[in-house]
Structure 1
Amino acid sequence: MREIVLDTETTGLDPLAGHRVVEVGCIELLNTVATGKTFHTYFNPEMIMPAGAQDIHGLSDEFLADKPLFADKVEEFLEFVGDAQLVIHNAQFDIGFLNAELERVGKPKLMNAYVDTVSVARRKFPGQRVSLDALCERFSIDNSNRIKHGALLDSELLAEVYLELSGGRQRDLGLAAEIAGGVTAVLVASNLPVRPPRPHAPSVAELAAHAEFLKQIKEPMWLAAA
């Protein structure tokens, strides 16, 4: 199954208040394993970056000034995503922002199925912290490079978290090659007749035949040991 792990960085918390997307990072998965294909870009939000948002992701007005507009990259983004299932940490936030950007450029909203890893983690670990950092800690995933939020780095970390939430690296029980090749293991009932079990105790005739056979062995080791 093709899935896209996706993350965004924005100028704020509410797209309805005019906040914009400034970064999108995507990673392609096949059967929960990264293929190496990515989509990553920064956007000029056409607005001043609030200090609070910059503190989170470190993206300044100067850095974003020469970056493309969302409209310049929308076709490339939509082509990469395609109809794949999306994997997003706190999905409503990112999808809300992306749909607002798509609406601005006259494109239909995203209709892709999605997995919200926050919801998955809350069901799996009720009452526990389910931030990306907390889940990395729980699954011993190295997030030491995550000094600030970044869409591509966060997608890379989320891809590892998602694998663990899905059952871990051994969840396919060693059938990864068959799964990748589209092979499905099937158990088929056989109509062949079942042979009756052989009695374990030897018969009198078998014991006599065995004794005669032993007489042919010269200097048997078991007699020397005795």
Structure 2
Amino acid sequence: MLTALIIDDEAPSREELKALLAEAPDVEVVGECANAIEGLSAIHRLRPDVVFLDIQMPRVSGLEMVGMIEPSALPHIVFVTAYDEHALKAFEEHAADYLLKPIDPKRLAKTLDWLRSGARPSAKAFPGSTDSLRQIPCIGRNRIFLLGLDEVEFVHTDVCGVQVVATNKLGITELTLKILQERTPLMRCHRQYLINIDHIAEIELLENGAADIVTHSGKRVPVSRRHLREIKRQTAYCLRVCENIKNPW
């Protein structure tokens, strides 16, 4: 049995694909999502075998969403799109498949045969999926939203997941610290923390060789001894000209 997740911002497109997949006795649609942020959460929660993913979605595209998934959690991706067929040839090099809208049932049948064959998802990045992230998709109380990187003070992990902390906002993201470190300017300052150096007001040196960062809004972020030297190097100029530094070096 193949488990499938449909991610598309257009409800009629989701319904059409769901109806076509219902005709396959060995395919179970375990969920559907209307945007990439919901889709990220559903992929991690449901662990589907295959995701039928629209490329052209508002705010976070399908390609951007794929780049936000840890490779170890990446399912098969079948792109569902109105793109010209010739523009999608590059995906074939990445062991990916695609369906053009409106979906041809015979073409879908070939895709399902390919999935049944046991082909493995590609470890290579999809074209356009490794660009730097400009926003972090977050989940808050009864809402989903995007936080621009310039708003983010720091990110850290706790028992609730990966917390994204802005001056006046707080959200939880499905992105890992590893993905955020690789795809954004956020810097590692501790095993559980990434910091936006533009929000650093002070670095307070501690007796044990570690330190605390104080952000412009007054929040405190730990810095481990392992990462302190690089944080100092990256922030040396801006902190030297601040008048309120307590521990200049």
TM-score (norm 2): 0.25
| More relative contact order, 1 or 2 (CA 8 Å, 6+ apart) | 1
Question: Which structure is higher in helix share?
Answer: 1
**Bigger radius of gyration, 1 or 2?**
1
